[in-house]
A = this chain, B = another copy of it.
Amino acid sequence: MKRKLLYVDAIREATEQEMKRDKSVIVFGLDVDDPKAIQGTTRGLVEKFGPNRVFGTPLSEDAMTGAAVGMALAGLRPIHVHIRMDFMMLAMNQIINVAAKSHYMYGGQVYLPLVIRSMIGKSWGQGAQHSQGLYSFFMHVPGLKVVAPTTPYDAKGCLIEAIRDDNPVIFVEHRMLHFQKGLVPRKQYVVSPGKARITAKGKDVTLVGISHMQLECIRAKLYLESVGISTEVIDPIWLSPLDIDTISKSTAKTGRLIVVDNDWISCGASSQIVADVTERLQGKREIRVHRMGYAAVTCPPTPPLEKLFYPDGPKIAQAAYRMIKDQKSNWLPRERKDLQEIEFKGPF
Contacts and interface: CB of A to CB of B under 8 A. Distances in A.
A62 B92 CA distance: 11
Given A142-B264, A240-B266, A89 B100 contact: no
- Contact count band on A: 35 or more
A300 B108 CA distance: 13
Nearest to A263: B140
Given A101-B298, A271-B271, A272-B271, A140 B136 contact: yes
Given A139-B267, A267-B272, A271-B272, A97 B89 contact: yes
Interface stretch (A176-184, A273-281, A339-347): A273-281
A70 to B, nearest CB: 17
A331 interface: no
Contact of A278 (B92, B136, B141, B289): B289
Chain copies in the assembly? 2
Interface of A: 62, 86-87, 89-90, 92-93, 95-97, 100-101, 104-105, 127-129, 132, 134, 136-137, 139-143, 240, 263-264, 266-272, 274-276, 278-279, 282-283, 286-291, 296-298, 300
Contact of A279 (B87, B96, B104, B289): B289
Given A89-B93, A101-B128, A142-B298, 7 more contacts: A89-B95, A89-B97, A92-B92, A104-B128, A240-B266, A278-B278, A279-B289
